[in-house]
Each structure stands twice: as C-alpha cells, then as structure tokens.
C-alpha cells in the first residue's frame, strides 16, 4: 500500500514535469538547421537513410556534370580548340550515358521501396488515436480508451512566450501517447484539406473531409514532438500546430484516467495506473 502511494506520488510528479515540458526529448525545428530533425521513430530512421543515399548519388552526379562542363569550357573553347571535331556519334558513350542513369534510377527504386511500404503498412496497433483537422486546430479522439476527445488549439505568440514554449508550435492541449508502442493515427478533416505531419516521426498524411486516412508511428523516447498542418488550408494555416506528448506507459495510463475517470471502471487498466488514480 505504502509503496504504491509513493509510486503514485512519483508518477504524479513526473507527469507534472512531462506536462510542463520539463522532461524528455524534444522534436522541433531549430534556427539555421539544414538537416532533418533528429529521428524519433524507425520510420524516420528509414526516411533519413534513404535521403542520405539519394543525397550522395545526387552530389556525385552534380560534381560529375559540373566537372565535365568545366572541362569542356576549358578544353574545347574556340581559343584552345580552333578546329572543331566533326564527330557525330559514339556508340559506347551513348550506351553508357543511357544505361548508367537507368541503373541509378533502378537502384533508387530498389532502396525506396522498403521504406515506402514500411511507412504505408499499418502493423497491429497497440492503440488508436483519431486526429481531426479543423480550420485551424485539431481534435484528438481516443476510441480505445472510452472515446474521450478534446480540442488542441494553437497558443498565441504571447501565450507561448509566457510559458517559455515555442511559438507557432505549442498548443493548448497536446496529443498524448505512450512511448515504445505502435500508435495508429486515423486522420480526417471537418472542413477543408489539412495534413497531419510530425517531422521527427517521419509522418505526413492528408486529412481529407469525408475520408479516413491512417498512418502509424512508434516513438522510442518520451518527450515532446512538434509538427504542423502541412496542407495549405486557409488564412491561419501558418499557425495550426501539432504537439505530441510521448509519455512512459504508466504515466500515459495515469493521464487517461485523468481524462476519463469512467474508463477504469468499465474497461480495466494496469494496476499501477489504478493505484496512481486512487492513491492506494
Ligand atoms: Cu490545416
């Protein structure tokens, strides 16, 4: 009894720390950065890898083409080469410059296919959250936890600054999910096209009125991760942020109980979370 009360207190303290943004990893854009945000999911690992492979190939092609052009400017300008060659074709060269790009493209298709299907195939999820885009905020629904829902609206610049949170990213109430679990996100919209995107997760999917899209992620580390609506959706599109608070499972369970006290009675939840709630 006593032990679990202490655990409950500790849980409450860490929950408070997490909810005030004091703990864990943070996924947000940084000034003057030219790279991706640090990956928080296996999906984003794959996206980052694919980008690196493509970037190396693109860089090599740019260097080769620029080098050849420079060589031609110097070697074959009028002064250096007053009498031009009348060569009209070269079979070997033509075969090479046709075959090489085809092989590069085939290689890129080969390395891109796995990430593409990995991102697109929803595994058996541990839980589901429904995200509904509105002009200009999000609703989050938790169908696996009794179906409670809440609105997640952007803070004004002044409100964010007062709380020492990033402007245009922080919200009134974030989406909350457990770490290390497969989260399915069902995405739709109530009015116009929006898109649910969290860069650190490698997740970006359209929110279409009247349709359900689904995506998923599994975040390794607890923390706060920011994204934005990524489909131009009207006047205030620039300020339609997504904030995802990732908590350890026990803290997530405690949060669920806070949001929906009825849930524990009807559905059952981990003993630890029940103790946290009831203080036993
Ligand atoms: Cu939008």
pLDDT of residue 90: 94
Residues with CB in 5 Å of ion ligand 1: 194, 229, 233, 240
Residue 197 Cα, ligand 1 centroid: separation in angstroms? 10
pLDDT of residue 95: 97
pLDDT of residue 4: 40
Per-residue model confidence as pLDDT tens digits over 214-253: 999 999 999 999 999 999 999 999 999 999 999 999 999 9
Domain residue extents for the chain: 42-120, 127-278
Question: Which residues of the chain are modeled with pLDDT < 50?
Answer: 1-22, 280
Domain 127-278 in the same topology as domain 42-120: no
Which residue is listed with tokens 């996924």?
27
Q: Among the CATH numbers 1.20.58.110, 1.10.287.90, 1.10.10.10, 3.90.180.10, which is that of 42-120?
A: 1.10.287.90
pLDDT of residue 146: 87
CATH number for the domain running over 127-278: 2.60.40.420
Residue 92 Cα, ligand 1 centroid: separation in angstroms? 53
Residue 118 Cα, ligand 1 centroid: separation in angstroms? 26
Cα 162 from chain centre: 26
Instruction: Retrieve residue 254's tokens.
Output: 């405690």
Best CA proximity match to 256, nearest among 115, 119, 141, 117: 141
pLDDT of residue 177: 97
pLDDT of residue 12: 41
Residue 216 Cα, ligand 1 centroid: separation in angstroms? 19
pLDDT of residue 268: 53
């Amino acid at each position: 009894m006593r032990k679990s009360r202490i655990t409950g207190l500790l849980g409450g303290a860490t929950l408070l720390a997490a909810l005030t943004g004091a703990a864990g990893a943070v996924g947000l854009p940084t000034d003057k950065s030219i790279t991706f945000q640090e990956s928080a999911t296996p999906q984003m690992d794959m996206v980052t890898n694919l980008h690196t492979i493509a970037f190396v190939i693109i860089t090599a092609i740019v260097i080769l083409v620029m080098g050849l052009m420079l060589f031609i400017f110097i070697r074959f300008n009028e002064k250096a080469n007053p009498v031009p060659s009348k060569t009209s074709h070269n079979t070997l060269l033509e075969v090479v410059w046709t075959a090489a790009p085809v092989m590069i493209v085939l290689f890129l298709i080969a390395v891109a296919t796995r990430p593409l299907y990995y991102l697109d195939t929803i595994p058996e999820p541990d839980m589901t959250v429904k995200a509904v885009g509105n002009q200009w905020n999000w609703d989050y629904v938790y169908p696996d936890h009794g179906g409670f829902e809440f609105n997640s609206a952007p803070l004004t610049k002044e409100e964010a600054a007062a709380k020492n949170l990033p402007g245009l990213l922080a919200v009134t109430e974030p989406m909350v999910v457990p770490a290390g679990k497969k989260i399915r996100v069902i995405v739709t919209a109530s009015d116009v096209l929006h898109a649910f995107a969290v860069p650190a997760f490698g997740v970006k999917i359209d929110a279409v009125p009247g349709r359900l899209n689904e995506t998923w992620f599994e975040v390794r580390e607890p923390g706060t991760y920011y994204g934005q609506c990524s489909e131009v959706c009207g006047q205030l599109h620039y300020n339609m942020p997504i904030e995802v608070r990732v908590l350890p499972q026990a803290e997530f369970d405690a949060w669920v109980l806070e949001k929906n006290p009825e849930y524990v009675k009807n559905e059952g939840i981990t003993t630890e979370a029940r103790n946290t709630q009831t203080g036993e």
